[in-house]
Amino acid sequence: MDEFALIERFFRGLGSASGGVSLGIGDDAALLRPNAGMELAVTTDTLIQGRHFDAQMRPQDLAWKALAVNLSDLAAMGACPRWFTLALSMPTVDKAWLEAFSQGLATAADVFELALVGGDTTRGPLSLGLTALGEVPIGGALRRDGAKAGDLICVSGTLGDAALALRLARAPEALASRLSRPTPRVSLGRKLVGYAHAAIDLSDGLLQDLGHILKASGVGAEIALDQIPVSPMFAQHCEPERRSELILAGGDDYELCVCIPEAAFDRLEQALPTPLTRIGRIVKAPGTRVLNALGDIIETPLSGYRHFE
């Protein structure tokens, strides 16, 4: 099966017809039309075997995760996903693998209502480079540089589940799926447009990712460790001495961290598609202080994952 037959069989027409496609797969480039008054949010994330996943990962989970991590970036901008491209490198043409992979990708693309509009197919070590395009009202995106002293710091869902799953020899399915099939908080991100001052998605751990907002915005943060939401599964399976490390620096959460004025939070809270929990405040003094239940500062030498350290 050559490259073109492969694209035809496994990738053409994949995803839901999200509109705005003047020309999809098959030419030298796709032609896309965002709606009037919108600007494009464009993001790329690559998953490489041996680095981001191992050979045992099921192709349908891999496909889900590859799209989900990109959609999480769009969610963090408040953007509505529209289209994506796939740069696929693989050592051989394994039809069973491609079948499962393309079905998993189609499922995810249908759930989040976007269409595959192009890509590239090469021979090489297994890697998946996805680029997702979404749209957001011009000037309305949730950037990293808008946090202001006094803003509440909130996170969606619960933190630490994926990091715990990675470290348990046999994680229960409900925890394992938080690692293999993360849920990008797309509807939540879109709801926050016009209300939140800044947002980021949590891929490398709360402290490191919040740190990006603080640096871009020129502010600092105070976080109450015991306010950070964890799941019942996490509470049950995590050893107490690992708890703060996994919550603060575990990574792979794909939840949103949001800086929002208190009044806006109070107005929105009940109407949100995913719960947001307040965990701290933006302050003027730079740096992050993590406080215990008594309000004392806890030492945290934790910084999260970095590829080139």
DSSP string, 126-162: -EEEEEEEEEEETT----SS---TTPEEEEES-SSHH
Beta-sheet strand order (sheet of 80-90): 38-48, 127-137, 80-90, 115-123
- Helical residues (DSSP H) of 33-160, grouped into ranges: 59-77, 95-111
Structure tokens at 136: 């957001």
The residue (of 124 and 232) whose beta carbon lies closer to Mg ion is 124
Among 69, 88, 162, 165, binds ligand ADP (CB under 6 A): 88
CB of 130 to Mg ion, least distance (A): 15
86 touches ligand ADP by CB under 6 A: yes
The answer to whether residue 28 forms part of the interface with ligand ADP (CB under 6 A) is: yes
Report if residue 109 touches ligand ADP, rule: CB under 6 A. no
> Whole-number minimum distance, CB 138 to ligand ADP, in Å?
27
Q: Is 26 in the site for ligand ADP (CB under 6 A)?
A: yes
| Segment holding 179, helix H or strand E | helix 173-180
Return the number of the residue (25 or 196) whose C-beta is nearest ligand ADP: 25
Q: Interface residues with Mg ion (CB under 5 A)?
A: 120
| Nearest residue (beta carbon) to Mg ion | 120
Helix (H, G, I), strand (E, B) or coil at 279: strand
Q: How many helices (H) and strands (E) does the chain have?
A: 10, 13
**The one among 47, 90, 116, 213 contacting ligand ADP by CB under 6 A:** 116
In the bound state with ligand ADP, the residue whose beta carbon lies nearer, of 15 and 34, is 15
Nearer to Mg ion, 120 or 145 (CB): 120
Q: How far is the CB of 119 from ligand ADP (least distance, A)?
A: 3
Residue 13 and residue 103 in contact, taking contact as beta carbons nearer than 8 Å: no
- In 3D space, the residue among 52, 80, 42, 78 whose CA is nearest the CA of residue 201 turns out to be 78
Residues near ligand ADP (CB under 6 A)? 7, 11, 25-28, 86, 88, 116, 118-121
